[in-house]
Amino acid sequence: MILFLAARPVTAPPVRRTSPVRPAPPVPPAPRRRARFRPFARFRPFALLRPFAPYRRIFAVPGSRAFTAANLLARLPMGMLSISAVLMIAGSRGSYALAGAVTATGLAATALAGPWTARLIDRYGQSRITVPATALATLGSLSLLLCVHYGAPDWTLFASYAATATTPNTGGMSRARWAHLFRDDPAARHTANSFEQAADELCFLLGPVLATLLCTTLFPEAGTAVGAALLLTGVLLFAAQRRTEPPPAARTATGAPARSPLRLPDLPPLLLTFLCTGAVFGSLEVVTLAYADAHGIRSAGGALLALQAAGSGAAGLLYGLLPPAARTGRRFLRCTGAMAALMLLPLLAAAAGSPATLATALLLAGMATAPTMVTGMGLVQSRTPPEQLNEGMTLAVTALLGGIAAGSAGGGWAVDHLAGAGAAYGVPAAAAALAGTVTLLTARRRRHRP
């Protein structure tokens, strides 16, 4: 059997035939379309906004647009309430001296109560303190309105306006939120601070115009009523934005609150610079209004001041596009030096006697104030502990308010005792030079500190 199998021939398996593969038919080329003439094919409107990418980046954070819009609504009355009070009291009692004394009393009360309100905000949180503090301030404004309307004694006006001192620093609270959101991103904090300074300029630009319009076209109490309503509504909306609110400050290991930022070695010299900068603002406002009155263009005084605010706001927005400085103190010294140099322009323009030249000079002079304020607020943030940030920035605002009061008094004295309002522009120039000198001496002291 084995031999039989071995002798059997081996045959190959049959070959399986398949049909030949046919090549695919060629695909005809697509017909060529004639190119259409598109003159604006490369024009992209949003490409023009690329330089403003830093601002788009900060507002891409969830909740940032909501608290910013609410804060702007609450911040607008900053430029409304004081001028509304002046117009309301002067129109009812016929005394600008009484109106100025009442507003000065409210300014002094705010300077005293503001840091304490900010300390409570740092300790217990923004939403818990701002609402009752704003409610008390709103009641003070309404009390002033009713006292003026019904002819109450003069002392009630002082007491009512002093009650508005609990108005929280809305701009400082917004900056504190940005500092909390971008605590690890200095470039974003720099852009946010620049935006906040431009927002301040916008509020001080639109606030007096809106207040004057309401008080003169409707009734004298309209400006105060609308300003108080905007303040309360804006603060309520702002306090409702809880997800962007910084946490309350923790107490020390002994259970006691931290010491005041005024005891920090580097903050008081910076506050002195803010005091001098406030003197620039206060004196420039009074002298400009006096210059317009002396040249028969009293109605254009507000427009001249608006040019200065517009130049400052535009410079603040452009300044936010720059990268943050590696040495903030050195840049602050340059900014105060530029402010001192540019504040000479209104003095020279007023000497020439041309209102048009003065308008241009005020526009250029305003371009140095916003970068100075932005850099200064950045230094306040860097030199203040995070748990006391609201108090530190409120101290800076208090120094500004004190400087504005002193500058207004100094500018008014110079208008009455110097050779015309043109020469009185030396007061803001001297205040700016003093701010630069204080910054220079502070920088040298820090450089030689062991």
- Which amino acid belongs to residue 188? A
CB 369 within 8 A of CB 378: no
Residue 97 has pLDDT above 60, yes or no: yes
CA-based angle 198:436:351, to the nearest 5? 80
Residue 14: predicted pLDDT? 55
Residue 167 DSSP SS3: coil
141-150, 165-174, 198-207: which has the minimum mean pLDDT? Answer: 198-207
Return d(Cα 71, Cα 239) in angstroms, integer: 9
Residue 166 has pLDDT above 80, yes or no: yes
Residue 15 has pLDDT above 60, yes or no: no
Residue 96 has, within 13 A of its CA and on its CB side, a CA count of 1
Burial class (CB in 10 A: 0-12, 13-18, 19+), 196: buried
Residue 236: predicted pLDDT? 92
Give the mean pLDDT of 13-38: 55
Return d(Cα 410, Cα 423) in angstroms, integer: 13
- Convert the pLDDT of each residue in 233-292 to its tens digit: 999 999 888 888 888 865 544 455 556 666 766 778 888 888 888 888 878 877 777 777
Looking at residue 247, the DSSP 8-state letter turns out to be P
CB 165 within 8 A of CB 137: yes
CB 389 within 8 A of CB 381: yes
Return d(Cα 180, Cα 31) in angstroms, integer: 60
Give the mean pLDDT of 227-234: 91
Threshold 0.75, pTM exceeds: no
pLDDT band at 328 (very low <50, low <70, confident <90, very high): confident
